[in-house]
Structure 1
Amino acid sequence: MQLRNVFIENQCDLFDIEISGDCIASIKPAMQRQVPATGEIYLNNAIAIPGLINSHDHLDFNLFPALGDRYYKDYREWAQHIHSAYKAEIDKVLAVPVEMRVQWGMYKNLLCGVTTVVNHGLPLFCASDIVDVFQHCQSLHSVGFEKMWRLKLNNPLRLRKSVAIHVGEGINGLAEREINKLLAANVLGRELIAVHGVAMNALQARKFKALVWCPASNYFMFNKTADINNLKHGTVILFGSDSVLTADWSMLRHIHLARRLGVLSDEELLQSLTTSPAAIWELDRLGKIQESYYADIVVADQRNKKGLDAALSITSKDILLVIKKGRVQLFDETLVNQILSSKLDVEDFNCIVVEGQVKYVRGNISQLIDRIRSYYPEASLPVKKLKPKEQINAYAS
């Protein structure tokens, strides 16, 4: 397969990207020929970026409504409140079998151009390959809620694994003291990856391998986020969405929020979603559009923007293609004829509408939606599934 006539990240020139198997075989200046040959997808005014890496999500928690009606001092206060005030809502979601909740969490990420997501929590069985799910670090919830966290942290049998943990998740003194408590308890010198770090200071940041920044979740809970402008000088910043319990379903909108805050440059922000997590999570040959790297690529309509401005302004509506290890996982309706002529098997795709635009998504997402609603009729999902007749008409067009 070849992607023709695309801009790549902040490059000013157009390129052709050839994909062979699961990797990028070549990247060359775009040919002038306008009519695509078999196996080529010709794009117009489109930008290609590496498949995004979401460094923090709870995949089984993405069917919840946002829970909370005020700002909180820390995660403990928030948790205590929602479990008392929203018990009925929580029970309804938990009635949905976990495998369905996990699969929806994976689709939520795919619709935002995520090809790899780091799941935080107990290891989950992921029955499909919609996105790659990273679960190879040791996940501890927090100092406050993880039972026997000191013993787990200092388990010599897990010494070579990084530890991802919610820490500094609040705006009070307790949240800040928990960071020091965690650092003091780390007697084996484990590599620590902090999640949230709202209460973290620059000195503490130096003791962590990385910090996963989740600004949308932080503002929902605390009306404040981590001091990224200072913390980025002491540790590596990664980007995470968290679940819809505390954030909008679209990580792309979280990225737009992060840009408005102005605490990372556009280059730094894109790195927090690509090269930085690839390095921290040790994801071989991911995070770049580069020859011999895995073909994890998102292609989107640039609209009226260019370069990093276009790359970081993408919405789900704008996404034209999501490719994971050389395999198309999502494509826009405007590419139907080219996809069919490229001999891609489309039998495994469903039509859905996202932000008013028809997309074709690998896997039976329509059936998944029906199954979820059989358990949880009130489920609010950001997609509309098309009826079988509408799907046929969409293919025919």
Structure 2
Amino acid sequence: MMDYFTGSQPSPVVVHGGRCAIGPQETTYASLQIADGRVTRILSDSSSLAIASPDCVEIDLSGFLVMPGLVNAHDHLEFALYPRLARPPYRSYIDWGTEILSEFSDVIAKHRSVPKEVRLWWGGIRNLLCGVTTVSHHNPLWAELQREDFPVRVVAQYGWGHSLAFGGDLRVARAATPEGCAFIVHACEGVDEKAREELWELDRLGVLDDRAVLVHGLAIDRSGVELMQQRRASLIVCPSSNDFLFGKLPDLSLLGDISNVALGNDSPLTAEGDLLDEVRFAMRSCDLSSQAAYRMVTEAPAAILRLREAEGTIRVSGRGDLMAVRDTNRDAADRLKMLSLNDVEFVMLGGCVQLASEKVYERLPLPVKKGMEPLWIDGTMRWLRAPVKELLSAAEEVLGVDGVCLGGRSIRIPAGMEAGYVYSNSR
């Protein structure tokens, strides 16, 4: 990736006019002041003028429900442009992983030819489009993910191993995990006895403790839940991937007894879509309540991943990470169960506007628009703070003009804007 100049955004910022989600079922009309990346004041909307000052940037979100930016507990960002690869059903992730390397080697080789930094950026954009502001990347923390201008915040402090079958020495990986950080590993991903036994093997290795975060856990039974509770380990579920690969759904009435359970969207290799698609799938297929789903993409993953900046909430001194959707007079949890990326019209990361619909873009002050570029995705147009044209060109060089899909969705530069961007976006 070339250096990308995003432009400057004056600080502080005041977001006003919207109804704010203070919790899954609690909302209030409020103005939010954000400075140095954090929420510094929350006042009733009638008090908004009291916090405005000559150097403030004001953003009017009247008619919108403002929610905390979502936390995606599990993704593999470099696979965002890949299609689903499988010939299910399988008994375990071992069967699937072994087969795709031989049966889909040509597809894998072609997509790997897209520069990794380009694929990682598209992974960030895939999350941004559905309102995610913090994501856990289950792979090495590449330098590209730590750039200040990366479109979402990627968890930087963690330990990880892929799995018992493909992860090398997990005891060494656990020992290398920074103190106080989560150790994340795929486990019990399948429907056979070997998948069920993985939990007990992790315990024998001494890596199943209060810092352990297991991803999938499909084969965990009642005795396994009891062991997870004893060890105070956490779980991240990815229901649509499990359903696709194994024809089985996680039993959330059972797994819900584990103290901390979050929802991740996994990668397009196996998932139905993005995190909002995963929320709707889990509620529809796993009988998950709207309140539970809301917690599983906000406060629960923040706790599991040991995040310490009030991610997943809107509170004073917390991160200035927000998303906004049209206000339909429903609470945030109830609204969440109907949302798709088409509904996400505003995303702010640390006080900087990262995404805007055409309607919101028109409301933005000129300095905020600087550095934003348009993207068309399956009929929806969004302005993003990302080098969209450059990224799309790099992907098209390998995959072809009509061969680039983001999480299975077609993307392109909106008609009439292919030649470049005028407006206020000169870099």
- Please confirm whether the aligned pair reaches a TM-score higher than 0.5, indicating the same fold: yes
User: Identity, % of aligned pairs?
Assistant: 26
After alignment, is 199-208 or 63-72 more displaced?
199-208
Equivalent pairs counted in the alignment come to 390
1:38-66 CA-to-partner distances (Å, cap 9, x unmatched) read 83333343111111111111111222110
1:310-329 CA-to-partner distances (Å, cap 9, x unmatched) read 13322211112100111111
Which whole-Å CA distance do the structure 2 matches of 1:213 and 1:246 have between them? 13
Q: Secondary structure at the match of 1:142?
A: coil
Residue 370 of structure 1, CA deviation: 0.8
Match of 2:196 among 152, 165, 176: 176
1:192-217 CA-to-partner distances (Å, cap 9, x unmatched) read 10000000122233235210111121
1:144-177 CA-to-partner distances (Å, cap 9, x unmatched) read 1112234434x37856543100000001111001
Match for residue 318 of structure 1? 343
Residue 291 of structure 1, CA deviation: 1.6
After alignment, is 25-34 or 141-150 more displaced?
25-34
- Matched residue type, 2:413: K
> Is the 8 Å Cα contact of residues 302 and 311 (structure 1) preserved in structure 2?
no
Match of 1:256 among 280, 292, 295: 280
Residue 195 of structure 1 pairs with residue 215 of structure 2:
yes
CA distance 1:4–1:145, shift in 2 (3 Å): same
Unaligned runs of 5+ in 1: none
Structure-2-length-normalised TM-score: 0.84
Match of 1:297 among 300, 322, 329: 322
Match for residue 109 of structure 1? 127
Which whole-Å CA distance do the structure 2 matches of 1:279 and 1:307 have between them? 20
- Matched residue type, 2:80: N
Residue 329 of structure 1 pairs with residue 354 of structure 2:
yes
1:63-97 CA-to-partner distances (Å, cap 9, x unmatched) read 21100122111101111221121111011011111
Which whole-Å CA distance do the structure 2 matches of 1:59 and 1:233 have between them? 30
Match for residue 368 of structure 1? 391
> Is the 8 Å Cα contact of residues 316 and 354 (structure 1) preserved in structure 2?
no
Residue 23 of structure 1 pairs with residue 38 of structure 2:
yes
Which whole-Å CA distance do the structure 1 matches of 2:396 and 2:155 have between them? 28
Which whole-Å CA distance do the structure 1 matches of 2:329 and 2:413 have between them? 29
Match of 1:357 among 376, 380, 384: 380
Q: Secondary structure at the match of 2:119?
A: helix
Residue 277 of structure 1, CA deviation: 1.8
What pairs with 1:44-123 in structure 2 (closer than 5 Å)? 44-123=62-141
CA distance 1:345–1:45, shift in 2 (3 Å): closer
CA distance 1:333–1:262, shift in 2 (3 Å): same
> Is the 8 Å Cα contact of residues 376 and 413 (structure 2) preserved in structure 1?
yes
Which whole-Å CA distance do the structure 2 matches of 1:159 and 1:18 have between them? 34
Structure-1-length-normalised TM-score: 0.90
- Matched residue type, 1:165: V
What pairs with 1:93-242 in structure 2 (closer than 5 Å)? 93-126=111-144, 127=147, 128-153=149-174, 155=175, 160-186=180-206, 189=209, 191-201=211-221, 202-206=225-229, 207-242=231-266
Which whole-Å CA distance do the structure 1 matches of 2:67 and 2:192 have between them? 39
> Is the 8 Å Cα contact of residues 114 and 395 (structure 2) preserved in structure 1?
yes
Unaligned runs of 5+ in 2: 1-12
> Is the 8 Å Cα contact of residues 47 and 310 (structure 1) preserved in structure 2?
no
Instruction: Report the aligned-residue RMSD.
Output: 2.5
Residue 385 of structure 1 pairs with residue 391 of structure 2:
no
Match for residue 4 of structure 2? none
Which whole-Å CA distance do the structure 2 matches of 1:163 and 1:272 have between them? 18
Which whole-Å CA distance do the structure 1 matches of 2:312 and 2:68 have between them? 6
> Is the 8 Å Cα contact of residues 208 and 235 (structure 1) preserved in structure 2?
yes
> Is the 8 Å Cα contact of residues 348 and 363 (structure 1) preserved in structure 2?
yes
- Matched residue type, 1:384: R
1:93-112 CA-to-partner distances (Å, cap 9, x unmatched) read 11111111111111111111
Which whole-Å CA distance do the structure 1 matches of 2:120 and 2:332 have between them? 34
Residue 33 of structure 1, CA deviation: 9.6
Residue 190 of structure 1, CA deviation: 6.7
> Is the 8 Å Cα contact of residues 205 and 231 (structure 1) preserved in structure 2?
no
